[in-house]
Structure 1
Amino acid sequence: MSLQFIIGRSGSGKSSMILDTVTAELRSNPTGSPLILLAPEQGTFQIEQAILNTLGIHGTVRAQVLGFRRLALRVMQETGGSALVPISEEGKKMLLYKIVRRHQDELKLFGKSADQLGLIERMNDLYTELKKHNADFSRLEEHIDLLESSSRTSSLLKDKMSDLSIIFREFDTELAQFYIDAEDHVFKLAEGAGESSYLRGANIWIDGFQTFTPQEYLALKALMKTAASVTVALTLDRVYDDGLPPHELNLFYPTAVTYMMLRDMALTAGIEVKNTVLLDTSPYPRFKGSETLSYLEYAYERRIPWREDAAPRDMSKSLHIHGAANRLAEVEGAAREMVRLARDEDARWRDMAIFVRNLQDYEHVIRPVFADYGIPFFMDKKTSILHHPLMEFIRGALDVVLRFWRYEDVFRCVKSEFLLPLDGSLTREDMDVLENYVLASGIQGYRWYDGRPWKNAPSLSLELTQDTNGEGMSDNRQLHRLEQCRSLISTPLSTFERRLKRSGNVREMCAAVYQLLEQVEAPQRLDTMAHTALVQGQPQLALEHRQLWDAVLGLLDQIVEMMGDAELELEMFSGILETGLKDLKLGLVPPALDQVLVGSTDRTQTSHVKHAFLLGINEGIMPSNLQEEGVLSDQERVRLSEIGLELAPGMTRRLLDERFLIYGAITAASHSLWLSYPIADEEGKPLLPSEVIRQMKRIFPTLQEGYLNRGTDVSESLNSQLEHIHRPLPTLTNLIAQLRSWRAGLEVFPVWWRVLEWYRTREEWQDATEFLLGSLNYRNRANGLTLATSHKLYGKRLRTSVSRMEKFSACPFSHFAAYGLKLKERQVYRLQAPDIGQLFHAALSMMALNFKDQNRSWGSLTTEECLQEAESAVDKLAPKLQGEILLSSHRYGYITRKLKNIVGRASIILGEQSRRGSFEPIGLEMDFGPGRTLPPLTFQLPNGCVMEIVGRIDRVDMAESDQGLLLRVIDYKSSQTDLRLHEVYYGLSLQMLTYLDVLLSSAETWLGRPALPAGTLYFHVHNPLLQSSNGMSAEQAQLEMLKRFKLKGLLLADREVISKMDDQLEKGYSDILPVAVKADGGFYSSAAVATLEQWQSLLGSVRGIISDIGTRITDGNVDIAPYRLGTETACTYCSYRSLCRFEGSHEDNGYQVLSKPGKNELWERFDELGRKEERE
Structure 2
Amino acid sequence: MLRFCFGASGSGKSTRLYNEVIERSMKDLGTNYVIIVPDQFTMQTQKDVVRMHPSHAIMNIDVLSFGRLSHRIFEEAGLSSFSVLDDLGKSLVLRRVSDILGDKLPIIGKNMHKPGYIDEVKSTISEFMQYGIGDEGLAILEEKSSKKGALNAKIKDLRLLYSEFLAYIKDRYITTEETLDVLCGAIPSSKILKDSVIVFDGFTGFTPIQYRVIKMLLAVSKEVIVSLTISPEDDPYTGFFEEQELFMLSKKTVYDLEKLEYSLLQEQGALGVPSFEAYRNARNEEMSKKNQAGDIFITDKTVKRLENNPSLAFLEQNLFRYNVNKFTADTSGIEIFRAQTINEEVRQALIKISDLIRDGGYAYRDIALVCGSLDSYADIISNQARKFDIPVYIDKNSSLLLNPIIEYITSAINIVISGYRYEDVFHFMRSGMSDFSPEDTDLLENYVRALGIKGRKQWEDRFMRRMPKRFVTAGKSEKASEKELELLQKLDQMRDAISTSLKPLADSKKGTVKDITKALLTVIESNNSKEKLEAYRDKFEAEGDLKKAREYDQIYDKIITLLGQMDGLLGDEKIELSEYKEILSTGFADIEVGTIPQDVDRIIVGDIERTRLCEVKVLFFLGVNDGNIPSNAGGGGILSDIDRQFLADATSNVELAPTPRQQMYIQRLYLYMNLTKPTDKLYLSFAELTPDGKSLRPAYLISKITTMFSNITISRPEDGDFESQSVKLMDSRDKLSVMMREYANGFLRGQDKKNFLTLYKTIKDLLAENGDNSFIDQITDAAFKQYENRPLAKAIALTLYGATLENSVSRLEQFASCCYAHFIRYGLHLEERKEYEFDVSDLGNVFHAVLEKYTSEIMSGDTKWRDLPKEKSEEILNRALTECVDGYGETILLSNARNQFMIERIRRILLRTVDTLQYQISKGKFEPAFVEMDFREAGNIDEINIALSEDEQKNITEKMILRGRIDRVDLYEDSDHVYVKVIDFKSGNHKFNVASLYYGLQLQLVMYMNVATATSRKMSGGKEVLPAAILYYHVDDPMAEGKNDLQPDVINEEIKQKLKMTGVVSERMDVIQMLDSSINGKSDIIPVEFKKDGSLSSRSATLSDSDYGAISRFTEKKIREFGKSILNGNIEVNPYEMGDRSSCTYCSYRSICGYDESIKGYSKRNLDISSSDAMEIIRSENN
Q: Is TM > 0.5 for Structure 1 vs Structure 2? A: yes
Q: Are 1:331 and 1:365, in contact at CA under 8 Å, matched by a contact in 2?
A: yes
Q: CA deviation at 1:1046?
A: 2.2
* 1:684-833 pair list within 5 angstroms: 684-703=693-712, 705-707=714-716, 716-721=721-726, 723-725=727-729, 729-734=730-735, 736=737, 746-747=753-754, 752-753=760-761, 755-760=763-768, 762-763=770-771, 765-779=772-786, 785=792, 790=797, 793-794=800-801, 798-833=805-840
Aligned to 1:333: 348
2: distance between equivalents of 1:817 and 1:322?
54
* 1:854-893 pair list within 5 angstroms: 854=861, 856-893=863-900
Residue type of the partner of 2:1072? Answer: I
Aligned to 1:546: 553
Query: Which residue, 1082, 1104, 1109 being the options, matches 1:1096?
Result: 1109
Query: Which residue, 43, 68, 71 being the options, matches 1:70?
Result: 68
Aligned to 1:14: 13
2: distance between equivalents of 1:166 and 1:855?
85
* 1:52-67 pair list within 5 angstroms: 52-55=50-53, 60-67=58-65
Deviation sequence 1:769-791 (CA, Å, 0-9, x none): 53334223224676555666555
2: distance between equivalents of 1:930 and 1:335?
77
Q: CA deviation at 1:233?
A: 1.7
Q: CA deviation at 1:246?
A: 4.4
* 1:902-1051 pair list within 5 angstroms: 902-928=909-935, 935-937=942-944, 949-960=962-973, 964-1000=977-1013, 1003-1005=1016-1018, 1007=1020, 1009-1025=1023-1039, 1029-1031=1043-1045, 1035-1036=1049-1050, 1038-1051=1052-1065
1:629 aligns with 2:636: yes
1:648 aligns with 2:657: yes
Deviates more, 1:206-215 or 1:829-838: 206-215
2: distance between equivalents of 1:18 and 1:1110?
92
Query: Which residue, 432, 446, 454 being the options, matches 1:436?
Result: 446
Q: Are 1:292 and 1:319, in contact at CA under 8 Å, matched by a contact in 2?
A: yes
Q: CA deviation at 1:568?
A: 2.6
Query: Which residue, 156, 175, 180 being the options, matches 1:181?
Result: 175
Residue type of the partner of 2:523? Answer: L
1:901 aligns with 2:908: yes
Residue type of the partner of 2:1074? Answer: K
Q: CA deviation at 1:795?
A: 5.5
Q: CA deviation at 1:431?
A: 1.4
1:602 aligns with 2:579: no
Deviation sequence 1:879-906 (CA, Å, 0-9, x none): 4433222232344333334333333332
Q: Are 1:459 and 1:470, in contact at CA under 8 Å, matched by a contact in 2?
A: no
Residue type of the partner of 1:1137? Answer: R
Matched residue SS, 1:105: helix
Deviation sequence 1:230-288 (CA, Å, 0-9, x none): 22222222443453544433333333333332234334544966334332425423334
Q: CA deviation at 1:17?
A: 2.2
Deviation sequence 1:74-109 (CA, Å, 0-9, x none): 334455754332111111111111111122233322
Q: Aligned pair in 2 of structure 1 residues 1068, 147: CA closer, same or farther (>3 Å)?
A: same
1: distance between equivalents of 2:831 and 2:1057?
39
Q: CA deviation at 1:390?
A: 0.8
Query: Which residue, 33, 41, 52 being the options, matches 1:43?
Result: 41
Q: Are 1:938 and 1:946, in contact at CA under 8 Å, matched by a contact in 2?
A: yes
Matched residue SS, 2:245: coil
2: distance between equivalents of 1:943 and 1:37?
98
Q: Aligned pair in 2 of structure 1 residues 247, 818: CA closer, same or farther (>3 Å)?
A: same
Q: Aligned pair in 2 of structure 1 residues 1031, 753: CA closer, same or farther (>3 Å)?
A: closer
Residue type of the partner of 2:1177? Answer: E
2: distance between equivalents of 1:998 and 1:499?
65
Aligned to 1:423: none
Query: Which residue, 618, 624, 627 being the options, matches 1:617?
Result: 624
Query: Which residue, 83, 92, 110 being the options, matches 1:112?
Result: 110
2: distance between equivalents of 1:297 and 1:1001?
101
Query: Which residue, 396, 405, 429 being the options, matches 2:411?
Result: 396
Matched residue SS, 1:103: helix
Q: Are 2:236 and 2:250, in contact at CA under 8 Å, matched by a contact in 1?
A: no
Aligned to 2:477: 467
Deviation sequence 1:208-244 (CA, Å, 0-9, x none): 2223222222222332333222222222224434535
Aligned to 1:202: 196
1: distance between equivalents of 2:787 and 2:700?
45
Q: Are 1:1094 and 1:1167, in contact at CA under 8 Å, matched by a contact in 2?
A: no
Aligned to 1:563: 570
Matched residue SS, 2:876: helix
Q: Are 1:34 and 1:199, in contact at CA under 8 Å, matched by a contact in 2?
A: yes
2: distance between equivalents of 1:468 and 1:277?
96
Residue type of the partner of 1:402? Answer: I
Matched residue SS, 2:1097: coil
Q: CA deviation at 1:552?
A: 0.7
Aligned to 2:466: 456
Q: Are 2:429 and 2:441, in contact at CA under 8 Å, matched by a contact in 1?
A: yes
Residue type of the partner of 2:199? Answer: W
Matched residue SS, 1:1015: strand
Query: Which residue, 72, 82, 102 being the options, matches 1:84?
Result: 82
1:233 aligns with 2:237: no
Q: CA deviation at 1:185?
A: 1.7
1:579 aligns with 2:586: yes
Q: Aligned pair in 2 of structure 1 residues 260, 403: CA closer, same or farther (>3 Å)?
A: same
Residue type of the partner of 2:1095? Answer: G
Deviation sequence 1:396-425 (CA, Å, 0-9, x none): 1111111211111111211112221xxxxx
2: distance between equivalents of 1:1085 and 1:523?
80
2: distance between equivalents of 1:1122 and 1:44?
67
Q: CA deviation at 1:157?
A: 2.5
1:101 aligns with 2:99: yes
2: distance between equivalents of 1:656 and 1:1050?
85
Q: Are 2:509 and 2:576, in contact at CA under 8 Å, matched by a contact in 1?
A: no
Q: Aligned pair in 2 of structure 1 residues 774, 464: CA closer, same or farther (>3 Å)?
A: same
Residue type of the partner of 1:224? Answer: L
Q: Aligned pair in 2 of structure 1 residues 141, 14: CA closer, same or farther (>3 Å)?
A: closer
Aligned to 2:187: 193
Q: CA deviation at 1:844?
A: 1.0
Query: Which residue, 1144, 1147, 1162 being the options, matches 1:1131?
Result: 1144
Q: Are 1:626 and 1:655, in contact at CA under 8 Å, matched by a contact in 2?
A: no
Q: Are 1:1068 and 1:1078, in contact at CA under 8 Å, matched by a contact in 2?
A: yes
Residue type of the partner of 1:85? Answer: S
Residue type of the partner of 1:113? Answer: N
Q: Are 2:634 and 2:641, in contact at CA under 8 Å, matched by a contact in 1?
A: no
Q: CA deviation at 1:1048?
A: 2.1
Residue type of the partner of 1:175? Answer: I
Q: Are 1:943 and 1:1111, in contact at CA under 8 Å, matched by a contact in 2?
A: no
Q: Are 2:33 and 2:61, in contact at CA under 8 Å, matched by a contact in 1?
A: yes
Q: Are 2:634 and 2:640, in contact at CA under 8 Å, matched by a contact in 1?
A: no
Deviates more, 1:128-137 or 1:999-1008: 999-1008
1:221 aligns with 2:221: no
Aligned to 1:1060: 1074
Q: Are 2:998 and 2:1178, in contact at CA under 8 Å, matched by a contact in 1?
A: no
2: distance between equivalents of 1:245 and 1:1003?
113
Q: Aligned pair in 2 of structure 1 residues 233, 1117: CA closer, same or farther (>3 Å)?
A: farther
Deviates more, 1:443-452 or 1:197-206: 443-452
2: distance between equivalents of 1:959 and 1:719?
87
Identity of aligned residues (%): 27
TM-score, structure 1 normalization: 0.90
Aligned to 1:255: 250
Matched residue SS, 2:560: helix
Q: Are 2:473 and 2:887, in contact at CA under 8 Å, matched by a contact in 1?
A: no
Matched residue SS, 2:929: strand
Q: Are 2:131 and 2:655, in contact at CA under 8 Å, matched by a contact in 1?
A: yes
Matched residue SS, 1:50: helix
Q: Aligned pair in 2 of structure 1 residues 1011, 63: CA closer, same or farther (>3 Å)?
A: farther
Residue type of the partner of 1:123? Answer: V
* Structure 1 residues not aligned, in runs of 5+: 421-425
Q: CA deviation at 1:1017?
A: 1.7
1: distance between equivalents of 2:1131 and 2:52?
71
Aligned to 2:292: none
* 1:656-671 pair list within 5 angstroms: 656-671=665-680
Aligned to 2:399: 384
2: distance between equivalents of 1:468 and 1:101?
57
